[in-house]
Amino acid sequence: MTVNASNTGGLVDPAPSAEGPNERALSLAERGMIQMGRRSGMSYARIGEAIGRDKSVVWREVNRNTSADGVYYASVAHTKAHQARHRPKPLKLVENEALCRLIAVWMDDGWSPKLISSMLAFYFTDDQTMQVSHETIYQALYVQSRGILRADLAEKLSLKRKQRVPHAADRTKNSPYKEAFKISERPAEVQDRAVPGIGKVTSSSAPAGPRSAPLWSARPGSRSCSTSPGTTAPRPSLPR
């Protein structure tokens, strides 16, 4: 991020006050302590103990708001942090045509936005201006107001969607199974069937033939069958 200077000198949109917008944000006094600690060669842990912050907070602050000459200035860092809180932020793809062209070439080759984001971070490790998240690429493809990339690049995606599907959207709206019968909607009488497939078979349900079929019934939980008087139990078929 760069600090813009006005036409008459000074900084554009300076920080409104020395205090941060909330308790989580660093104040100008805390940034002054960080500046003094960096000049004195103190470690991030010691600076964090002096201002009552974790060392990771100090590390992020120095890496985000160090000036182009490699020196941390408290007043400049305070203004940069104030300008970085502005919303909405301008998209990086709007201001970087070279990055747009590179993304378009890789998408023409069939690369996914996730892969492109990973390869940008791999090839341009020290250049933050040439790194972008996959979400930013998706926004440039699907959101018309942010359409920096070519419209036909959306057809290169694996799902071939014309627009993004919100996380809160009903993804079963066009599903052929949305009217399917659910197991929770079974009738109440099937709840009594403790063991599936067990029932009674009688000769009345068997087709009529020259020989009378044996009348037998199977009891739940038993492996035997009983036959009516004068009938012969069916013989099991032997394997050939």
Tens of pLDDT, residue by residue over 184-200, are 777 777 777 666 665 55
Predicted confidence at residue 56, as pLDDT, reads 94
Q: What are the residues whose beta carbons fall under 8 Å from the beta carbon of 19, sequence distance 6 or more?
A: 27, 28
Q: Looking at per-residue confidence, does 14 or 40 come out higher?
A: 40
111-160: pLDDT as tens digits: 888 899 999 999 998 888 899 888 888 877 766 444 456 666 766 666 65
Taking alpha carbons only, the member of 148, 141, 11, 175 closest to residue 80 is 11
> Of the ranges 83-92, 172-181, 229-238, which one carries the lowest mean pLDDT score?
229-238
Lowest-pLDDT choice from 10-19, 46-55, 97-106, 181-190:
10-19
Q: What is the pLDDT of residue 1?
A: 47
Q: What is the pLDDT of residues 202-225, one digit of tens each?
A: 555 555 555 544 444 445 554 554
CA distance 10 to 7: 8
Q: Of the segments 14-28, 68-82, 131-145, which one has the largest average pLDDT value?
A: 68-82
Cβ neighbours of residue 74 closer than 8 Å, sequence gap 6 or more: 28, 31, 32, 34, 35
Mean pLDDT of 151-179: 65
In the chain, domain spans:
28-84, 92-156
